[in-house]
Amino acid sequence: MSKYATAALLGAALLLAGCGANPEEAQGALSSQPAASGTEAAQGKDQALYDRLPDKVKTAGKLVSVNNGSFPPYEIAGADGKSMTGAAADLSEALGQVLGVKIEHVTVDGLPSQLTGIASGRYDLAIGPVGDFADRQKANDFVDWVKEFVVFAVPKGNPKKINSVADTCGLKISVMAGGSAEAVIKNQSETCAKDGKPKITVQSYKDQPTSVLAVSSGRADAFFSSQAPLTYFVSQSGGKLELAGKGQSNGFDDLYQGAVVGKDSPLRDVVKDGIQKLIDNGTYAKIMDRWGTSDNKLDKAGVNLAGS
């Protein structure tokens, strides 16, 4: 990772600690460093893509993207509930320039509020990235721009010897409430019981920082979540945490994440083509590299890749 990317990751901690969507107790999970972020050179407006936007979007001159404010290094929401930094913020700024409209950010409490708000039309989209799963595709469509992996953040030295999800019987595992990792770990707990082993104590939290804090404070043995944000949190832990269970399926098939729009929304293919343009011109790669997510890049944006 470049010095600039490392500085950007470290600097985002200050903004995350002040995020209104994150509880006060979670602020101790991160250190405070000066921010050092930026965006790529301005993109030119693609008139053909602009013409494909719904009339209400062109009239408003903006798209409203919803987030839950706690998914670094992708989404780091400001205390005002509107400002945003991170890889997704840089991508959305570039995408807005390509589409010829402004993309505004709104922070809500939790993933379920995001998905239901988009499905109901309250918000235009979530830049995300949000996990793409077949059951979520019933009400929403996904424009996938990230491939992710799910691992564990554990205390330094991995005292519970967690090398895969199979090693979690009888342990206390923190997860994001309503997320895919929660469903996997709950299913694993039932598997443990069937095998005559102690069930898992599943601790569900509404945001990433509180889930990490549960581990660093000793209330949980591990936090089970996406590798990119966990890599970020481990880098902020002052050597107290490390990753475990890397290179394992951990209950998942190929895991894609992306932007979310309403089911069969006319925005779906416009957003996909806009992101693809940023992939083709190299802007996407520069953004992903800057934020330390180069291993999560896709060569091509896709729609509803989960289960395909």
Using one digit for the tens of pLDDT, what is the confidence trace for 280-300? 999 999 999 999 898 899 999
Question: Which residue type, as a one-letter code, is found at position 193?
Answer: A
* The predicted structure's pLDDT at residue 295: 84
Instruction: Strand 75-77: give its sheet, edge to edge.
Output: 70-71, 75-77, 84-85
Comparing 174 with 79, the larger pLDDT belongs to: 174
Comparing 184 with 14, the larger pLDDT belongs to: 184
Helix axes 267-280, 283-290, angle to 10 degrees: 80
> Domain boundaries in the chain?
3-148+254-303, 150-244
Secondary structure (H, E, C), the chain: CCHHHHHHHHHHHHHHHCCCCCCHHHHHHCCCCCCCCCCCCCCCCCHHHHHCCCHHHHHHCEEEEEECCEECCCEEECCCCCCEECHHHHHHHHHHHHHCCEEEEEECCCHHHHHHHHHCCCCCEEEEEEEECHHHHHCEEEEEEEEECEEEEEECCCCCCCCCHHHCCCCEEEEECCCHHHHHHHHHHHHHHHCCCCCCEEEEECCHHHHHHHHHCCCCCEEEEEHHHHHHHHHCCCCCEEEECCCCCCCCCCEEEEEEEECCCCHHHHHHHHHHHHHHCCHHHHHHHHCCCHHHCCCCCEECCCCC
Using one digit for the tens of pLDDT, what is the confidence trace for 246-286? 888 899 888 999 999 999 999 999 999 999 999 999 999 99
* The predicted structure's pLDDT at residue 84: 82
pLDDT at 3 over 60: no
pTM, whole model, 2 decimals? Answer: 0.73
Using one digit for the tens of pLDDT, what is the confidence trace for 109-123? 888 899 999 999 999
Using one digit for the tens of pLDDT, what is the confidence trace for 199-232? 999 999 988 889 999 999 999 999 999 898 899 8
* The predicted structure's pLDDT at residue 40: 64
pLDDT at 308 over 90: no
The predicted model gives 74-80 an average pLDDT of 81
The class level of CATH for 150-244 reads: alpha beta
Fold of 3-148+254-303: D-Maltodextrin-Binding Protein; domain 2 (3.40.190)
Residue with tokens 């206390």: 172
In DSSP terms, 243 is beta-bridged to 153
Burial class (CB in 10 A: 0-12, 13-18, 19+), 116: middle
> How confident is residue 47, by pLDDT bands cut at 50, 70 and 90?
very high
pLDDT at 102 over 70: yes
